[in-house]
Amino acid sequence: MKLYTTLEKQLKKEPNFITDNGELKKWVIIDKARIFDEQLLVLLLDNSELKEKFFIQVKGNLHFNQNKFIAFLEQKNYLNNSYTQYKNKVGLTIDGKYIKQRNEVALVWPFKDCILEGGQSREEDKREEIFFNEILAQDEITQLLEPKVLTNAKRIDKDGENPLDQFNRNDNGTITDNLIVKGNNLLALNTIKKEFAGKVKLIYIDPPYNTGSDSFHYNDTFNHSTWLVFMKNRLELAKILLSPDGSIFVHCDDNEVHYLKVLLDDIFEHNFINTITVKTKVGGVTGSSEGKSFKDSTEFINVFAKDKKQILFNPIFQLTPLYEFIKSYEEQDKSWKYTSVITTLEGKTKLKESNGYCFYGYSSFKSKSVKQFAKDNNISEEDVYRKYSDKIFRTTNAQSSVRKTVINETQDCDYPIISVEYSPIKGKNKGNKIEVFYKDTERNMLMFLADMIIEENDIVYYKEKISTLWDDIQYNNLSKEGGVDFPNGKKPELLIKRIIELTTNEGDIVLDYHLGSGSTCAVAHKMKRQHIGIEQIDYGSNDSTVRLRNVVEGDRSGISKDVNWQGGGSFVYLELKKYNQTFIEQIEEATNTDSLLQIWEQMKAKSFLNYNVDIKKQSEHMEDFKALSLPEQKQHLCELLDKNQLYVNLSSLYDSDFNCSKEEKKITKDFYQIKK
């Protein structure tokens, strides 16, 4: 028997605790609990299950767990009624004290330790969410989060799609297939958790921003806390999936960025790297907001590491046409430092080899200003920069360990300029030979302009190490990317490319559990990364699977030209096997009361209903049900379903009630590597 039923039965033994209609007077009981009312405590102690749940033993003495008892009653009250009682509790507090009283910051909100399943199977559905309470319904949550049975598995490649009978695995036994998982991401993340824990190098997510127009709109007062519960449940799983040197990029706008940062700090234990500001399309301010707010033109990406100490980002540069860059420097009154051209650099002599470095010296070194050089050679300064970039230099202080090694090793060499060749063992330049020049007397290093520029399509660009302001990525004309239409929130392939380039190398695993139109997987696929995408909504002809098919077949849009994408590879499509979710979808589709009543007959026979649903009572009140509006009838039927049973649990694979097919059993066992 469920705890609530036991409690209800026991409390109803006391006539003062029941109304004339036979309902429990919850608020009277809560008041009694607050004053440790003896009559109440005796009732609870008389039942062994209630005694165990609401009392604790300390040194042989029993103590009433008042908070737990009251929370339990309030929780049930919430499920039946409203959130109103919690609305004043949102705030930044630590140990229950508001930050005005403390110097540290923590984010505390109602239902923080609950699970929010966050289900939605069609874009327009804004379902009222259920908070599963972690402490008091632990058994139910375990079921909810159990790994699920897999269904409808197929592999898609250039030759089309084929049913999947086995996953590909590497020498360590890890799946190497790219995966698109259709289903609720909380449950899907729990499903892939064991297989991919500690193996994902990059997670990029672009969740609903909680703008009021997305699925969190249903209750404004609780927008922030509902959204935070939703994010927290999933971010905790994300952290488990990340590899020790992995990182997570969480995209959002200014509705939630500040709350999100505090939440991320909490979950990722202050492994904060940066917040990136992305310049997007300029949004409009219309209607009632006119004159009351500014036009929106930015979004934010919070970047966190699993472990800051183990992070090493690949060097990435932003490009600006060289001469434009120099002019903008001058316009901003900043001093442009690449102003000298080496005219003679002669007499290269090998001095010595030591510690993997090879040292050279030069016997003569002369230089001129760019201006003078242009004049002497009768060419424009712009041409000097374009043509002699390998001779144009600036000096800088020796700081890195390589430079310090050079200084130490060459103390006794009296050459005017010293160079060193070395091969980095990590990062983008791994294995390449790099030559660094030092001016002997001041031990200043020479940096050449050639190392700071790149020529593309006959244009010479200055490369600047990427900063936290990304204002160079086009947000226009995205509708063409990937051959799928996704008006709300499709991200530019170039943006995803930059993130993937910064954080991963070929073969690394990239995960996006808010896949949308599939931008992340499309880009990861073109960049030869292994990818996993999770999305709950089937977008039909604009679905991520359609986009990935286009990619496999050689999609020419987005970053294809940059990475010379010619098509190829494959991906595996999977679904979490639905159970009660099928009823929810039928209810959503129904257009009249008669169809809903037919669904109700089926639900009684086949579905799992909430434990506190009394089928007899439902039938007795059929006329009341018919008097409701169609949306209310739909909502009522959805509420009767046990949300723990939306999908089929792995533990029910052989349970005849769930009717799992031979194919489902085979592929599910293969995924979880179940031998028998």
Ligand X SMILES: C[S@@+](CC[C@H](N)C(=O)[O-])C[C@H]1O[C@@H](n2cnc3c(N)ncnc32)[C@H](O)[C@@H]1O
Binding site for ligand X (CB under 6 A): 118, 120, 184-185, 206-208, 486, 489-491, 514, 516-517, 519, 534-537
Cα–Cα distance, 404 to 385 (Å, whole number): 30
Cα–Cα distance, 222 to 87 (Å, whole number): 7
Task: State in angstroms the smallest separation of the CB of 15 from ligand X.
Answer: 45
Residue nearer to ligand X on the CB measure, 305 or 499: 499
Residue nearer to ligand X on the CB measure, 210 or 405: 210
Residue nearer to ligand X on the CB measure, 40 or 499: 499
Residue nearer to ligand X on the CB measure, 54 or 204: 204
CA distance readout (Å), 427 to 8, 44, 204, 423, 509: 63, 64, 21, 11, 18
Residue nearer to ligand X on the CB measure, 330 or 538: 538
Three-class SS of 143-204: HHHCCECEEEEEEEECCEEEECCCCCECCCCCECCCEEEECCHHHHHHHHHHHHCCCEEEEE
Task: State in angstroms the smallest separation of the CB of 495 from ligand X.
Answer: 9
CA 341, distance to chain mean position in Å, is 48
Task: State in angstroms the smallest separation of the CB of 526 from ligand X.
Answer: 14
Task: State in angstroms the smallest separation of the CB of 94 from ligand X.
Answer: 30
Cα–Cα distance, 556 to 550 (Å, whole number): 9
Residue nearer to ligand X on the CB measure, 185 or 410: 185
Three-state secondary structure call for residue 413: coil
Task: State in angstroms the smallest separation of the CB of 214 from ligand X.
Answer: 8
Beta bridge partners of 107: 92
* Residue among 393, 418, 416, 417 nearest 406 (CA): 418
CA distance readout (Å), 358 to 197, 389, 423, 433, 443: 43, 24, 10, 10, 17
Q: What are phi and psi of 198, to 5 degrees?
A: 75, 15
Residue nearer to ligand X on the CB measure, 319 or 537: 537
Three-class SS of 87-125: HHHCEEEECCEEHHHCCCCCEECCCCCEEECCCCCCCCC
Task: State in angstroms the smallest separation of the CB of 500 from ligand X.
Answer: 13
In contact, 278 and 495? CB cutoff 8 Å = yes
CA distance readout (Å), 253 to 206, 278, 517, 554: 10, 10, 19, 33
Q: What are phi and psi of 586, to 5 degrees?
A: -65, -40
Task: State in angstroms the smallest separation of the CB of 142 from ligand X.
Answer: 19
Task: State in angstroms the smallest separation of the CB of 226 from ligand X.
Answer: 12
Residue nearer to ligand X on the CB measure, 184 or 560: 184
Task: State in angstroms the smallest separation of the CB of 187 from ligand X.
Answer: 8
Task: State in angstroms the smallest separation of the CB of 234 from ligand X.
Answer: 8
Residue nearer to ligand X on the CB measure, 185 or 633: 185
Residue nearer to ligand X on the CB measure, 535 or 664: 535
Cα–Cα distance, 269 to 161 (Å, whole number): 43
Burial class of residue 410, CB neighbours in 10 A (0-12, 13-18, 19+)? buried
The encoded tokens of residue 136 equal: 């008091």
In eight-state DSSP terms, residue 643 is G
Question: Which helix (DSSP H) or strand (DSSP E) does residue 341 occupy?
Answer: strand 340-346
Task: State in angstroms the smallest separation of the CB of 208 from ligand X.
Answer: 5
Who's near 512: CB < 8 A, 6+ residues apart?
Answer: 203, 204, 205, 206, 520, 521, 531, 532, 533, 534
Cα–Cα distance, 15 to 17 (Å, whole number): 5
Cα–Cα distance, 69 to 53 (Å, whole number): 9
Task: State in angstroms the smallest separation of the CB of 23 from ligand X.
Answer: 34
Closest-by-Cβ residue to ligand X is 516
In contact, 417 and 395? CB cutoff 8 Å = no
Q: What are phi and psi of 131, to 5 degrees?
A: -95, 120
In contact, 14 and 620? CB cutoff 8 Å = no
Residue nearer to ligand X on the CB measure, 536 or 644: 536
In contact, 259 and 228? CB cutoff 8 Å = yes
The encoded tokens of residue 342 equal: 């080496």
Residue nearer to ligand X on the CB measure, 96 or 540: 540
In eight-state DSSP terms, residue 380 is -
Residue nearer to ligand X on the CB measure, 118 or 361: 118
Task: State in angstroms the smallest separation of the CB of 490 from ligand X.
Answer: 4
Task: State in angstroms the smallest separation of the CB of 189 from ligand X.
Answer: 9
141: left (phi over 0), alpha (psi -120 to 50) or beta: alpha
Task: State in angstroms the smallest separation of the CB of 182 from ligand X.
Answer: 9
Residue nearer to ligand X on the CB measure, 419 or 519: 519
Residue nearer to ligand X on the CB measure, 565 or 600: 565
Burial class of residue 264, CB neighbours in 10 A (0-12, 13-18, 19+)? buried
Residue nearer to ligand X on the CB measure, 504 or 581: 581
Task: State in angstroms the smallest separation of the CB of 147 from ligand X.
Answer: 16
* Pair type for strands 530-535 and 509-512: parallel
Task: State in angstroms the smallest separation of the CB of 115 from ligand X.
Answer: 12
Residue nearer to ligand X on the CB measure, 207 or 246: 207
Dihedral sign for Cα atoms in the order 601, 604, 607, 611:
positive
